[in-house]
Amino acid sequence: MTCWINTSILHELLKRGDLMNTRKEIQKGPPPDPAEKLKRISKLQHKIEELQRELDRLQKE
C-alpha cells in the first residue's frame, strides 16, 4: 500500500517535532506480551519466507 503525504505538511510536522513525539508516545505503550511478540515474529517469518519464494520465482523467469 502506498501512502502519499503533502511534503509541506511533513516538513511542518518535522519542524515542530510532532512526528517524533508521536513516535515516542507509541513506543511508550505497555510492553508487549512475550507470547504476542512471538506470534508477530512467527507471522513475519512466514511473510519473509513467502516473499523469498516469490523473489526466487521471479528471478528464474
Question: What are the CA-CA distances from residue 38 to residues 12, 33, 41 (Å)?
Answer: 37, 9, 5
Q: Distance (Å, rounded) from C-alpha 4 to C-alpha 18? A: 18
H runs (alpha helix) in the chain: 7-16, 18-27, 34-60
| Domain residue spans of the chain | 7-60
Euclidean distance between CA atoms 43 and 50, whole angstroms: 11
> Model pTM?
0.45
For residue range 13-51, list pLDDT tens digits in order: 666 665 555 555 555 666 678 888 888 888 899 899 999
DSSP, res 2: -
